[in-house]
């Protein structure tokens, strides 16, 4: 929905701001969140369109920094029609409130990297799909003993440091995160070079001791990949990668965690979030089966079998990722840790934005930030609609098609096409059709305000 | 002069809001016909704003054709500073109602030429056709807007240096550091408010009791600037019981006996009929 001066006001809503959920309006224009007070006093203009949000909660759009695919698409396997596959996932993700993501490639061979990587370009999102922040490369420079679902034959050592990486990946242009094991020969040098290039390094699939992990952090790593999974279990004499949560390095270390109720026990989630609250990032680590029923799928070169939502490497009991989108992960996480809603939402928005160093434009609903946000039911956390760069995603628009009416309060005087043909230019007030608004509607009629009625 | 004595601050807030509502409805504003309202800030009128917002939400009133002028603003405080009156008005009132930004006027305390800003404000009031109803509160020293004791009773909008008492009273909003309190303000003059067709002054709390007695029981005195309204044709003081503590029993009894008549002022009685009520 675009308005005349592009200024849209959401009212009767709760928003997440400064780590608190407050009843506050949200004003947006040209894809950014604006300060209504400034618009009022300085520009002296009124919003073109006002949207009654019916008490819904608006949270910053979710950011998934580790997602292997979904809806039948596997980012590491499908080397034909890569753009199409990415676009499909980007579009579907919007229905789950994910407005930005890092397509993740698991350990693959050189050929796959050269075919796929150049085609996954960073791309600003729109109502047609979530923003692609850049690729997350997980492997092949990982520890064989902690391979998880990765193909052992393809695992390599970065002996020549960054040169090994460049040789394998071809180019790092589209890459924002590289997961590697810091204890491997050449890894420390690679971490240093990656950090200098502005690429975030995540430590994972590793048997690193705490000392090795801390050295990685000192060289620039700031993430841990799917905490607890594919690393040494906590040991009190050498806590390993897990020990980074309570490390004395002065840098904030972030860690991805899968809270699909399968990969990480609720108690483990609580241990993590109580030890290092600010570092926790929810990731889906979803595979191609995300959004689809049980059956046979792929992850990279390996066959995957999904039974009751659990994704295994076919014929084994090795977990290979989740089938749950981030919106469900937020809900599961909140229930498992009994944390406050504000925090749960931030672990899927602000924290990943901070980890990637984009928290000056994403991850919050502050003035000047990108207008990427998600409407949630305040109790069930069900996603109602996603907005990206100030536009409502196409999927949620589809369902609204037949419910859009314009009324002067007494009579329905126009349908959707009339709305498009001119009513929207008149700065109308939008009121939902929900029965509890009837009183307000009648009052509006009395006050002789013309109303557009739209089912949200 | 009328004195409306009500139970407590919340009743005062409700009464004041109903009075504003009644006046706007009676005027029946529309395109090219704006109701012009003068507005205060501070703790006392807060309840009134909340009630007005309720009325707006219930569809009882629209501010689309209401023009507002605020009484005052600190000099040098940024517009978005939580203690600025711009901030107060936006968060406590403007953002909740349908007032048009072009018609909500607040003095700009950050203007380069403050004198010109004050003249502009006076001119805007004139262009709007004068204020129909000016709502005000008072300080414990009887100041109306920032017309501190000793202000000229025929003053117009201007820069005013704040009294030490005012700085002291306001420092709690500025980290308890008196040096952080802006020492100057822009304020409408007593004369500016006197020009309004009607004036409603809200006074609540025991700490304002002396000011109320000085305002209405003693002579007109520039050391209690609100006393100037004794000479206004349509001035209304709305107070709570606590604020009457310094008044004479005779005064209180007289005005309380009139309470039924006063009630008509917030009912749908035409204004010209109301003016005959005594």
Q: Range of B13's domain?
A: 2-274
Evaluate if residue A404 carries a pLDDT over 90.
no
For residue B237, give how far its alpha carbon lies from the nearest alpha carbon of chain A (Å): 30
- Do B95 and A443 make contact, defined as CB atoms within 8 angstroms? no
Q: Dump pLDDT digits (tens) for B40-69.
A: 998 899 999 999 999 999 999 999 999 999
- Do B61 and A45 make contact, defined as CB atoms within 8 angstroms? no
Q: Dump pLDDT digits (tens) for B70-92.
A: 999 999 999 999 999 999 999 99
Nearest chain A alpha carbon to B102? A44
Nearest chain B alpha carbon to A45? B101
Higher-confidence residue: A267 or A411?
A267
CA distance A74 to A68: 6
The CATH number linked to B158 is 3.40.50.1360
- Do A443 and B62 make contact, defined as CB atoms within 8 angstroms? no
Q: Which residues, including other chains, have CB under 8 Å from residue B138's CB and lie 6 or more apart?
A: B144, B201, B203, B208, B211, B212, B215, B226
Q: Which residues, including other chains, have CB under 8 Å from residue A235's CB and lie 6 or more apart?
A: none
| DSSP secondary structure string for all residues of B106-119 | ---TT-SSHHHHHH
Q: Dump pLDDT digits (tens) for A288-338.
A: 999 899 999 988 888 999 998 899 999 998 888 899 999 999 999 999 999
Of A55-69, A150-164, A212-226, A435-449, least confident by mean pLDDT is: A435-449
For residue B169, give how far its alpha carbon lies from the nearest alpha carbon of chain A (Å): 27
Nearest chain A alpha carbon to B58? A443
Rg of chain B (C-alpha set):
18
Q: Which domains are assigned to chain A?
A: 8-59+389-454 (no CATH), 61-362 (3.20.20.140)
Calculate mean pLDDT across residues A214-226. 96
- A420/B contact by beta carbon, under 8 A: no
- Do B79 and A440 make contact, defined as CB atoms within 8 angstroms? no
Calculate mean pLDDT across residues A246-267. 90
pLDDT at residue number A309: 86
Question: In this complex, which of A40, A46, A446 lies closest to B59 when CB atoms are compared?
Answer: A446
pLDDT at residue number A4: 53
Catalytic positions of A = 285
Nearest-CA neighbor of B194 among B166, B235, B159?
Answer: B235
- Do A45 and B87 make contact, defined as CB atoms within 8 angstroms? no
Evaluate if residue B115 carries a pLDDT over 70.
yes
Q: Which residues on B lie below 8 Å from A42 (Cβ)?
A: 79
Question: In this complex, which of B59, B87, B90 lies closest to A443 when CB atoms are compared?
Answer: B59
Q: Which residues on B lie below 8 Å from A448 (Cβ)?
A: 62
Confidence of residue A31 (pLDDT cuts 50, 70, 90): very high
Burial degree of B159 (CB within 10 A; 0-12, 13-18, 19+): middle
In this prediction the ipTM stands at: 0.90
- Do A39 and B101 make contact, defined as CB atoms within 8 angstroms? yes
pLDDT at residue number A205: 97
| DSSP secondary structure string for all residues of B86-142 | HHHHHHHTGGGS---GGGEE---TT-SSHHHHHHHHHHHHHHTTS-SEEEEEB-TT-
Question: In this complex, which of B57, B80, B102 lies closest to A44 when CB atoms are compared?
Answer: B102
| Domains of chain B: total | 1
């Amino acid at each position: 929905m675009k308005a005349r001066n592009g200024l849209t006001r959401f009212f009767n809503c709760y928003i997440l701001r400064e780590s608190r959920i407050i009843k506050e309006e949200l004003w947006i224009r040209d894809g950014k969140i604006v300060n209504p007070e400034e618009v009022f006093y300085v520009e002296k203009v009124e919003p073109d369109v006002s949207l009654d949000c019916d008490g819904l909660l608006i949270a910053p759009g979710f950011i998934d920094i580790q997602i292997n695919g979904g809806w039948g698409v596997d980012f590491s396997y499908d080397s034909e029609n890569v753009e199409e596959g990415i676009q499909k996932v980007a579009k579907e993700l919007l229905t789950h409130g994910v407005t930005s993501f890092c397509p993740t490639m698991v350990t693959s061979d050189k050929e796959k990297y050269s075919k796929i990587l150049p085609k996954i370009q960073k791309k600003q999102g729109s109502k047609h799909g979530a923003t692609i922040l850049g690729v997350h490369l997980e492997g092949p420079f990982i520890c064989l003993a902690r391979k998880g679902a990765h193909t052992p034959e393809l695992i390599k050592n970065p002996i020549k440091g960054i040169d090994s990486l460049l040789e394998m990946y071809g180019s790092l242009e589209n890459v924002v995160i590289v997961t590697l094991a810091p204890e491997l020969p050449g890894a420390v040098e690679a971490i240093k070079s990656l950090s200098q290039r502005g690429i975030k390094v995540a430590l994972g699939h590793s048997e690193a001791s705490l000392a090795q992990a801390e050295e990685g952090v000192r060289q620039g790593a700031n993430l841990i990949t799917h905490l607890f999974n594919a690393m040494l279990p906590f040991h009190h004499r050498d806590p390993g990668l897990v020990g980074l949560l309570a490390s004395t390095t002065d840098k904030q270390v972030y860690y991805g965690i899968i809270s699909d109720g399968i990969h990480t026990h609720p108690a483990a989630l609580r241990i993590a979030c109580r030890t290092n609250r600010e570092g926790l990032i929810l990731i889906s680590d979803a595979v191609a089966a995300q959004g689809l029923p049980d059956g046979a799928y792929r992850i990279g070169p390996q066959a995957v079998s999904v039974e009751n939502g659990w994704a295994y490497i076919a014929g084994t009991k090795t977990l290979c990722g989740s089938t749950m989108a981030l919106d469900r992960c937020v809900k599961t996480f909140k229930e498992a840790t009994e944390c406050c809603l504000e925090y749960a939402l931030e672990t899927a928005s602000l924290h990943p934005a901070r980890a990637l160093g984009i928290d000056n434009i994403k991850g919050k609903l502050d003035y000047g930030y990108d207008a990427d946000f998600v409407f949630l039911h305040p109790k069930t956390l069900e996603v109602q609609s996603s907005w990206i760069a100030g536009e409502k995603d196409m999927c949620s628009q589809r369902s609204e098609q037949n419910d859009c009416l314009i009324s002067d309060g007494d009579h329905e005087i126009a349908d959707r096409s009339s709305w498009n043909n001119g009513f929207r230019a008149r700065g109308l007030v939008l009121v939902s059709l929900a029965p509890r608004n009837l009183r307000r509607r009648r009052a509006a009629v009395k006050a002789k305000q013309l109303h557009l009625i739209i089912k949200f | 002069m009328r004195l409306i004595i009500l139970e407590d601050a919340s009743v005062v807030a409700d009464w004041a809001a109903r009075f504003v509502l009644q006046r706007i409805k009676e005027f029946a504003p529309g395109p090219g016909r704006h109701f012009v309202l003068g507005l205060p800030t501070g703790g006392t009128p807060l309840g009134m704003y909340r009630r007005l917002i309720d009325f707006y939400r219930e569809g009882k009133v629209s501010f689309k054709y209401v023009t507002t002028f605020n009484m005052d603003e600190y000099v040098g405080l940024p517009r978005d500073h939580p203690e600025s009156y711009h901030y107060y008005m936006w968060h406590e009132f403007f953002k909740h109602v349908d007032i048009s930004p072009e018609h909500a006027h607040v003095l700009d305390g950050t203007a380069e030429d403050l004198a010109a800003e004050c003249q502009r404000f006076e001119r805007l009031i004139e262009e709007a056709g004068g204020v129909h109803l000016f709502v005000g509160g008072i300080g414990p020293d009887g100041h109306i807007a920032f017309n501190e004791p000793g202000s000229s009773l025929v003053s117009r909008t201007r820069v005013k240096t704040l009294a030490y008492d005012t700085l002291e009273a306001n420092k709690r909003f500025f980290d308890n550091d008196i040096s952080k309190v802006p020492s100057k303000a822009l304020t409408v003059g007593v004369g500016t408010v006197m020009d309004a067709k009607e004036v409603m002054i809200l006074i609540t709390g025991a700490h304002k009791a002396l000011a109320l007695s000085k305002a209405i029981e003693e002579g007109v005195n520039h050391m209690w600037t609100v006393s100037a309204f004794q000479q206004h044709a349509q001035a209304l003081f709305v107070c709570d019981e606590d604020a009457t503590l310094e008044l004479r029993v005779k005064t209180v009894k007289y005005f309380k006996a009139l309470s039924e008549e006063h009630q008509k002022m917030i009912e749908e009685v035409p204004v010209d009929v109301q003016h005959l009520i005594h």
